[in-house]
Structure 1
């Protein structure tokens, strides 16, 4: 029996219970064979003291969606994924609404992955551009 896209999204979001993703209210909202998209509300809890979105919260969203994208393409019984490095260039300030992070692979190797993450606002304006490298490692038996 094939599982629906809605059921897959529900299952993916349930995996975020009691994590930073839940704390920041990050929700996976879409995926294709090539991309994974998540959103995060921009509220005072993710603001800098001057009332704009904190770059660290944006980076946390980007690393979450990028790592999750790497994770869903591996055999989780035998392997796990860890982030190696993330870079973020912040382009535009946001004070409210939602931001969306869309992860797509630049390289999808057996051991290392390089993911491009475009963070946009609700009007599809570029907020940040991020790059994440991840590594897939075997679980100890």
Structure 2
């Protein structure tokens, strides 16, 4: 069950609920837990998102991070605006072959035209698997 801030743009909430965060997020099995501009959480299964030797695919880490960072930036952008990613990078620190991963997205900068977030992906024991940093440009619709 996703927790939405009470002051969140109703149109954005409707889009998130209707789309499940978008087609790719649905395919990856991403589940939103808590959403806000400053801090968001989501989780994703390892199963179905592995590479050829059975490890969680590095790109899956990035998809999870970008999904959460983009939604958090869109929340910050507010009504009549949207967020578009302009930079992303990831450092993978540890691998995982089963279970679920959790992403915690924390705002580094919430400006008028840019939002930068750090997303830390951890395993069930809280060990850091990867760190994703992304910057979104905030645009008028």
Instruction: Name the TM-score class by shorter chain.
Output: 0.7 to 0.9
Aligned residue for 2:53, secondary structure, equals coil
How far apart are the structure 1 equivalents of 2:131 and 2:65? 9
Matched, 1:55 2:80: no
Corresponding residue number in structure 2 for 1:23: 27
Normalising by structure 2, we get a TM-score of 0.85
How far apart are the structure 1 equivalents of 2:20 and 2:118? 22
The 4+ residue runs of structure 1 with deviation greater than 6 A are none
Contact 2:73–2:83 at 8 Å: present in 1 too? yes
Give 1:7 shift.
6.2
Q: Which runs of 5+ in 2 are unaligned?
A: 6-12
Equivalent residues in 2 for 1:1-141 (5 A)? 8=4, 12-16=16-20, 19-31=23-35, 34-43=38-47, 45-76=48-79, 78-139=80-141
Count of matched residue positions in the alignment of Structure 1 and Structure 2:
133
Greater Rg, structure 1 or structure 2? 1
Aligned Cα root-mean-square deviation (Å)? 2.1
Contact 2:34–2:42 at 8 Å: present in 1 too? yes
Aligned residue for 1:73, secondary structure, equals helix
